[in-house]
Amino acid sequence: MNRFAELLDRLAYEPGRNNKLRLITGYFREVGDPDRGYALAALTGALSFKHAKPALIRDLIAARTDEVLFGLSYDYVGDLSETVALMWPKATLAAHNNPPPPSLTEVVTTLRTLGKTELPKQLERWLDELDETGRWALLKLVTGSLRIGISARLAKTAAAALGDKDPHEIELIWPGLAPPYLDLFAWLEGRGDKPVNRDPAPFRPVMLAHAIEDGDFAALDPADYIAEWKWDGIRVQAVAGRDERGHITARLYSRTGEDITASFPDLVPSLRLPGAIDGELLILREGRVQSFNVLQQRLNRKVVSAKLIKEFPIHLRAYDLLGDDENDLRELPFAERRERLERFIAKLDDPRIDLSPTVPFDSWEALTAARADPASAGAGEDADAVEGVMLKRRDAPYLPGRPKGQWWKWKRDPHIIDAVLMYAQRGHGKRSSYYSDYTFGVWTETENGEELVPVGKAYFGFTDEELLQIDRFVRRNTTEKFGPVRHVVHEGDKGLVLEVAFEGLQRSPRHKSGVAMRFPRISRLRWDKPPREADRLETLERMLKAEPAEIDV
């Protein structure tokens, strides 16, 4: 447990993805079975036991420490598990009789079977045996609040690196595996065969598109391609299969292979035909696709309430079929898969699942026109949820990853405004010596006259060279400092204008300006433009009118 705690501790402070990977892979290499398997399970969220309530932890510490001292400490530290871990006074044990600290395996396997009444005594024993970091990790684990900024995907990638394998391969067999993953590690270390996925509804690695550039079209023949709308939802794979007893198992996966079925129970009954659909998850109200802002309100909810399901009806818009019953279709050309998909969706005949229409075109000019005006090109009332077009080669098989020249995405041009840099904040990790997070504003008329009001924050989009330039500008033009934040000069004739690109806008009572941008980034530095010529809040408000009002949940 102490070694696992050490890993978690280090991961919590490490900002870099590659460095996190090295730390995790290093742990898998150094620590044997079955501990590392349970660690992988903990990092991927695959452990299941009944979590301890914070009240139980409070009772344990209350029995051992002074109430006032605990109160002062908790106020200072601000986190229950951490406070208890740090101030836990160990019971004085006879020196010759100290049991060794528990292993992660011991903790996990004991928690699985332990009765509720035995838990407090057991926790107390472990807290006595572990060191500070060990106690912290134990408490985070048993209270189910192990949030350390590691995705399941990252943990699997780290495991794959142990055997120089592609993380996709692990994703493929993952649903058939169970902690402590002895067969997986045996295969990764070359001591055993690749585990077979016996899951009736396995994930298939997804195929991704390249962004098309103006110069690419010259080499492409329109006749070789089929075009579809690019929907502004989330990419999913909906898989249904029969288990050994002939029952249908249905699962919904994210594009990285994470099982997200539990978040969308309302879609599961519609997945009753064995097959694997590649498509986009959307919210439909009265047959009309809602904006991503609306979908976002349904995502990342811990509890999927009946109300949420009713007000945010989920929908799957299908654009590819990877499997039809027992048949793997991935080797077939796209045009053929598309026909199979059309038959499949017709046979399914379910209001929650429909077909993503193709966009007819015979020249790049025609497609350019369709992309510029999806409403008149077939998207109709759903045009607001279209973020561009997809181009797919008629003869392309379904290949995992981002193969060259097969699929292209051609996004609609982003919204652009000119805003004025107002505040700059230091970045994190590698960027901790740079002012790399920028708050920008636009002009508005207030009772004090013309003023800049902040409308967003961006921390990417610029090149390394531009970052150096902005950083230098910030340091030379700071008017005030507040901890890590600097106020940067922003007056009519003094300041820096940033061209900001963004994908959408929504009303936000949390922002002073009343608007919030989606996916804002710095697209250009306008050294040439005096701040007074930057955009006004009214421009954004006009753009907002096009967006539907939000519903409160």
Partner 1 sequence: MRAQDILLPNAAGLCCKPGGFHIDPVRPVERAVITHGHSDHARAGHGAVLATQETLDMMRLRYGENFAGSTQAIRYGEEIRLGDVKVKFHPAGHVLGSAQVAVTCKDTCIVASGDYKDAPDPTCTPFELVPCDVFITEATFGLPVFRHGDASDEVKKLLASVALFPERAHLVGAYSLGKAQRVIKLLRQAGYEAPIYLHGAMETITHYYQSRGIELGELKPVKGMKKAALAGTITLAPPSATADLWTRRFPDPVTAFASGWMRVRARALQRGVELPLVISDHADWDGLTATIAATGAGEIWVTHGQEDALVHWCRSKGLKAQPLDLVGYGDEEESETPLQGEAEA
Catalytic residue ranges:
230
In the bound state with partner 1, the residue whose beta carbon lies nearer, of 16 and 192, is 16
Q: Does the protein bind partner 1 through residue 15 (CB under 8 A)? A: yes
The residue behind tokens 């097959």 is: 275
3-state secondary structure at position 354: strand
In the bound state with partner 1, the residue whose beta carbon lies nearer, of 95 and 306, is 95
From the list 67-75, 415-423, 450-458, 524-532, the region that binds partner 1 by CB under 8 A is: 67-75
Q: Does the protein bind partner 1 through residue 266 (CB under 8 A)? A: no
CB of 269 to partner 1, least distance (A): 44
The residue within the footprint of partner 1, chosen from 33, 49, 58, 77 (CB under 8 A), is 77
The residue within the footprint of partner 1, chosen from 1, 2, 4, 14 (CB under 8 A), is 14
Q: Does the protein bind partner 1 through residue 23 (CB under 8 A)? A: yes
In this structure, are strands 497-502 and 478-482 parallel, antiparallel, or unpaired? Answer: unpaired
Q: Does the protein bind partner 1 through residue 35 (CB under 8 A)? A: no
Identify residues 397-436 at the interface with partner 1 (CB under 8 A). 426, 428-430, 432-433
Q: Does the protein bind partner 1 through residue 551 (CB under 8 A)? A: no
Q: Which amino acid is at 510?
A: R
Dihedral sign for Cα atoms in the order 416, 421, 426, 432: positive
Q: Are 228 and 358 in contact (CB under 8 A)?
A: yes
CB of 22 to partner 1, least distance (A): 7
From the list 86-94, 153-161, 406-414, 455-463, the region that binds partner 1 by CB under 8 A is: 86-94
Return the ∠ at Cα 469 (arms to 463 and 470), rounded to 5°.
90
Token digits of residue 492: 């009519």
Identify residues 189-208 at the interface with partner 1 (CB under 8 A). none
Q: Does the protein bind partner 1 through residue 242 (CB under 8 A)? A: no
C-alpha 378/C-alpha 359 separation (Å) is: 7
Token digits of residue 351: 């209001």
In the bound state with partner 1, the residue whose beta carbon lies nearer, of 23 and 240, is 23
How many residues bind partner 1 (CB under 8 A)? The answer is 33
Q: Does the protein bind partner 1 through residue 106 (CB under 8 A)? A: no
Q: What is the DSSP letter of 37?
A: H
Question: What is the longest distance spanned by two Cα atoms in the chain?
Answer: 85
Report in angstroms the alpha-carbon separations of 257 from 30, 372, 405: 27, 33, 24
Identify residues 267-306 at the interface with partner 1 (CB under 8 A). none
What's the distance, CA 543 to chain centroid?
27
In the bound state with partner 1, the residue whose beta carbon lies nearer, of 79 and 541, is 79
Q: Does the protein bind partner 1 through residue 87 (CB under 8 A)? A: yes
> For the purposes of burial, counting CB atoms within 10 Å of the CB of 109, is it exposed (0-12), middle (13-18) or buried (19 or more)?
middle
C-alpha 381/C-alpha 521 separation (Å) is: 28
The residue within the footprint of partner 1, chosen from 3, 65, 153, 217 (CB under 8 A), is 65
Q: Does the protein bind partner 1 through residue 19 (CB under 8 A)? A: yes
Q: Does the protein bind partner 1 through residue 482 (CB under 8 A)? A: no
CB of 103 to partner 1, least distance (A): 20
Identify residues 494-523 at the interface with partner 1 (CB under 8 A). none
From the list 79-87, 244-252, 336-344, 415-423, the region that binds partner 1 by CB under 8 A is: 79-87
The residue within the footprint of partner 1, chosen from 3, 33, 56, 79 (CB under 8 A), is 79
Q: Does the protein bind partner 1 through residue 73 (CB under 8 A)? A: yes
> For the purposes of burial, counting CB atoms within 10 Å of the CB of 44, is it exposed (0-12), middle (13-18) or buried (19 or more)?
buried
In the bound state with partner 1, the residue whose beta carbon lies nearer, of 452 and 474, is 474
Q: Does the protein bind partner 1 through residue 68 (CB under 8 A)? A: yes
CB of 543 to partner 1, least distance (A): 36
Cis peptide leading into residue 180 (ω within 30°)? yes
C-alpha 507/C-alpha 486 separation (Å) is: 27
In the bound state with partner 1, the residue whose beta carbon lies nearer, of 13 and 482, is 13
From the list 60-68, 247-255, 315-323, 436-444, the region that binds partner 1 by CB under 8 A is: 60-68
The site string for partner 1 over 429-468 (x = CB under 8 A, - otherwise) reads xx-xx-----------------------------------
3-state secondary structure at position 129: helix
The residue within the footprint of partner 1, chosen from 29, 53, 72, 262 (CB under 8 A), is 72
3-state secondary structure at position 379: coil
Could you give the dihedral angle defined by the CA atoms of residues 249, 254, 259 and 264, in that order, rounded to the nearest 10 degrees?
-70
In this structure, are strands 407-411 and 210-211 parallel, antiparallel, or unpaired? Answer: parallel
As a three-state string, the secondary structure of 235-255 is EEEEEEEECCCCCEEEEEEEC
Residues, the chain: 553
The residue within the footprint of partner 1, chosen from 33, 106, 124, 132 (CB under 8 A), is 132
DSSP-assigned beta bridge partners for residue 227:
391
In the bound state with partner 1, the residue whose beta carbon lies nearer, of 10 and 529, is 10
Report in angstroms the alpha-carbon separations of 156 from 28, 167, 243, 426: 11, 6, 25, 31
The residue within the footprint of partner 1, chosen from 56, 80, 86, 208 (CB under 8 A), is 86
339 phi/psi in degrees, rounded to 5: -60, -45
C-alpha 165/C-alpha 173 separation (Å) is: 13
The residues that touch partner 1, with contacts defined as CB under 8 A, are 10, 12-16, 19, 22-23, 26, 65-66, 68-69, 72-73, 76-79, 82-83, 86-87, 89, 131-132, 426, 428-430, 432-433
